[in-house]
A = this chain, B = another copy of it.
Amino acid sequence: MCAVPSNADQPNAPVILLSHPQMGENIGAAARVMRNFGLRDLRLIAPRDGWPNEKSTALAAGAFQKMSPIRVFENTPLAISDMQMVFAVTARLRDMEKPVFSPKQAMAHMSDALASGALVGLLFGGEASGLSNEEVAACDGIITYPVHMEFASLNLAQAVGVASYAWQSFYTEGAAGKTPISKEQSGIAQRSELEGMLRQLRQELTDAGFFYPPEKAHVMMQNLQNMFVRNQMTSQEIKTFRGVIKALAHGRGAGLAQNK
């Protein structure tokens, strides 16, 4: 499975909770990036400027219309009361007996819960002061990003973006690295086509006196061959390139037959 755009929402995604968010713009931007990565449930805990907040609209870029209705709570205990598992996302390591996860580790940790239908929350603190110790204490664990120590403070919507990406990425790619989708493997030319092209190239280069001294022809052709084999050319590319060789070697108009 590869990282092509995903078509459907996953049945169970974590809920994003923003505790005491201040700027409407960040709420809108958070919603947009949640939706980009297939999340749809956003809860706000005591937003400073109330809700709805018109400053959120432009940065949401239409995301609100494609999500579950946003729910607003007075405090964090109420907001997480129906959840089975909650992680606090915070850069500050606290002197608290909590397991600390990277985003990837947290996604692995919550995936079974999500698959079994549990409600899982990711709790983010507001712009000014982050999460309180009380809020972190109520969580099952801490998610910490691999940020630079001297510049550790992420924008709120960026923090939501990283978590949303990490979740979708876990779901889409799984834990292991996959090979790149270079192209349809069936599109790669058969080796015989490549060899035909290389024979043509060798003949034209021989005619042009390219191989000098002649006893080096073999190793020089091998280098060229390595280059083209590595390239995994398609049949169409080989046809085109045979036209290129012909045109270069025989001049004006000679390539046309290959390239009409």
Give the B-binding residues of A (Cβ under 8 A): 2-7, 9, 29, 32-33, 35-38, 59, 61-63, 66, 91, 93, 97, 99-105, 108-109, 141, 144-155, 157-158, 161-162, 165-166, 168-169, 171-173, 175-183, 201, 204-205, 207-210, 212, 220, 223-224, 227, 230-234, 237, 240-241, 243-245, 247-256, 259-260
Contact of A247 among B29, B155, B205, B259 (CB under 8 A): B205
Contacts A155-B33, A259-B212 known; A5 to B147 CB distance under 8 Å? Answer: yes
For A1, give the chain B residue with the smallest CB separation. B102
Asked if B5 and A152 sit within 8 Å, CB to CB, the answer is yes
Asked if A151 and B36 sit within 8 Å, CB to CB, the answer is yes
For A97, give the chain B residue with the smallest CB separation. B183
Contact of A6 among B147, B204, B253 (CB under 8 A): B147
Give min CB distance, A237 to chain B, whole Å.
Answer: 5
Task: List, in ascending order, chain B residues with CB within 8 A of A166's CB.
Answer: 165
Asked if A227 and B252 sit within 8 Å, CB to CB, the answer is no
Contacts A3-B102, A247-B208 known; A66 to B255 CB distance under 8 Å? Answer: no
Asked if B147 and A37 sit within 8 Å, CB to CB, the answer is yes
Asked if A108 and B177 sit within 8 Å, CB to CB, the answer is yes
Asked if A154 and B36 sit within 8 Å, CB to CB, the answer is yes
Enumerate 10 A-B pairs (CB-CB under 8 Å) in ascending A order: A36-B148, A100-B182, A103-B165, A145-B165, A147-B168, A208-B252, A209-B255, A210-B243, A210-B255, A227-B233
Asked if A100 and B244 sit within 8 Å, CB to CB, the answer is no
Asked if B169 and A248 sit within 8 Å, CB to CB, the answer is no
Complexed CA–CA distance, A248 and B202 (Å): 10
Asked if A149 and B6 sit within 8 Å, CB to CB, the answer is yes
Asked if A105 and B177 sit within 8 Å, CB to CB, the answer is yes
Contact of A241 among B6, B172, B227 (CB under 8 A): B227
Complexed CA–CA distance, A260 and B61 (Å): 56
